[in-house]
Copies of this chain bind each other. A is one copy, B any other.
Amino acid sequence: MTVLEKKPTDRLQDSLAQVQRLIERHHLVEELVHRQDMPKHGLVEELVHKQNVNELHHKLDQLHPADIAYILESLPLDDRLLVWDMVKSERDGEILLEVSDAVRETLIESMDAHELVAAAEQLDADELADLAPDLPRQVVYEVMGGLDDEEREQLQSALSFEEGQVGALMDFELVKIRADVSCEVVLRYLRRFDELPDHTDKIFVIDDDDILKGVLSIRKLLVSDPDADVSEVMATDVVTFHPADDAEDAALAFERYDLITAPVVDEKGVLIGRLTVDEMVDVIREESESEVLSLAGLREEEDLFAPVIDSVKNRWAWLAVNLCTAFVASRVIGVFEGAIQHLVALAALMPIVAGIGGNSGNQTITMIVRALAMGQMQPNQAWMLWRKELGVSVINGVVWGGVIGIVAWWLYDSFSLGLVMTAAMTLNLILAATMGVLVPTLMQKMGRDPALGSSVLITAFTDSGGFFIFLGLASVFLM
């Protein structure tokens, strides 16, 4: 009885550790073989080596493709390719689907065209479509040549949609029935399958023209009178999607209505595919991932063990943007060099004004970006939210600005410097609140992703703005 194994994450960690141990031994034995050229010793090592490789093979064969993907992602490049070579080639396709984009690239690079074709041929049309953009064009053509007409059409349809669209995520494994048969007939029909498609929680009811008329939930089918007609027990109020719909919207609908599968129909209502919850979970995960990554100034997910140069490429774009905004802020300070020369305390105090503004602006913008993404805020509510944020920033400005103003007064023994500090903090927080509402709302209105670069942008405003406000006030009132 294997039900009561350790919890899944521990089991996975154990597998990883085991594979790592085997790889280590592998390296050790190889080193030994290389070191001593005596044929007799070599023979023993050869045997150990073989046994070791066998053990590794055996371990890998037992693992779920998702687990192998995890292990591949957790290994440094050399070891990763060693393991990848040992995985049974008929599993290559499904594993390539499971690994992260960055790791997939390294695996595909290590395979020749022949291996890639073999791997791709194991996949369904919709899976192939997921993999196709990463494959050499020649390989895709060759695989396409081997498909039947229906599959080729499905593949082309899936490839015609962009990554963020429902059409690119749907699959074509549908169980379809007519409305005028009895539940008994449906049950008998299902029994003829060797296996029902993954995640089948409902059967799609169509008419003669393939137009979706409703869905029959399996849960309903199981408790219904066998003599009842499908039309009596099916649901007609169905959440459907179009292939051009946004995948993130679809994921929100899955979340909202607790869906497992949902039909995809074209503009005429013809059933063309289905979405499954596992794809939607991936969408949610990727969405949040890309939000965190772009907040941190990373272009895309990174292979932890990628060569240094790949990481540099992934990160340079945001660093360059940041460099420009930092340079602008620096020039703003440059304008006030005279004032700083005159009162050097300004140089020490100005980063506080800018820093608090940046933190507060990031709080506001994050909240607004989230609300826009979840559809909880309409752009016409910006005005109202702005007034609220103003309130928050005035309170924070007076309280925290007051605290830091008193500290500045005490440190530099100048009441007016403390007052300027408090005023500058308050004004910069007001600027932060204003930009925090304005920037994402405008981005959204212009049809851009409001999350992208929001953090860098807001910091640019609060840095340059903070320096300008503080040094400007100081020039006017303290000089």
Question: Hey, which bits of chain A sit against chain B, CB under 8 A?
Answer: 1-5, 7-9, 12-13, 64, 66-67, 70, 73-74, 76, 187, 190-196, 198-201, 212-214, 218-219, 222-224, 236-242, 245-246, 249-250, 252-258, 260, 265, 269, 277-278, 280-282, 284-285, 287-289, 291-293, 295-298, 302, 304-305, 308-309, 311-312, 315-316, 318-320, 322-323, 325-327, 329-331, 333-334, 337, 340-341, 344-352, 354-356, 359-360, 362-363, 365-367, 370-371, 375-378, 384-385, 388-389, 391-392, 395-396, 400, 403-404, 407, 411, 456, 459, 463, 467
Inter-chain contact A223/B376, CB cutoff 8 Å: no
Inter-chain contact B347/A337, CB cutoff 8 Å: yes
Inter-chain contact B376/A214, CB cutoff 8 Å: no
Inter-chain contact B9/A363, CB cutoff 8 Å: no
Inter-chain contact A281/B284, CB cutoff 8 Å: yes
Chain B residues with CB under 8 Å of A9's CB are 246, 249, 252-253, 375
Apart from A190-B223, A319-B400, A333-B348: 14 A-B pairs, beta carbons within 8 A: A3-B214, A3-B238, A3-B265, A8-B250, A74-B377, A288-B289, A296-B362, A296-B367, A319-B359, A320-B400, A325-B355, A337-B345, A337-B347, A347-B350
Q: List 14 A-B contacts (CB under 8 A).
A: A3-B265, A4-B212, A7-B240, A9-B375, A193-B223, A285-B288, A288-B288, A304-B376, A304-B377, A331-B348, A337-B348, A347-B350, A351-B354, A355-B463
Inter-chain contact A376/B73, CB cutoff 8 Å: yes
Chain B residues with CB under 8 Å of A293's CB are 366
Inter-chain contact A222/B240, CB cutoff 8 Å: no
Inter-chain contact B318/A359, CB cutoff 8 Å: yes
Q: Give complex CA distance A245, B351 in Å.
A: 44
Q: Which residue of chain B is the closest to A293 with respect to CB atoms?
A: B366
Q: Give complex CA distance A375, B17 in Å.
A: 12
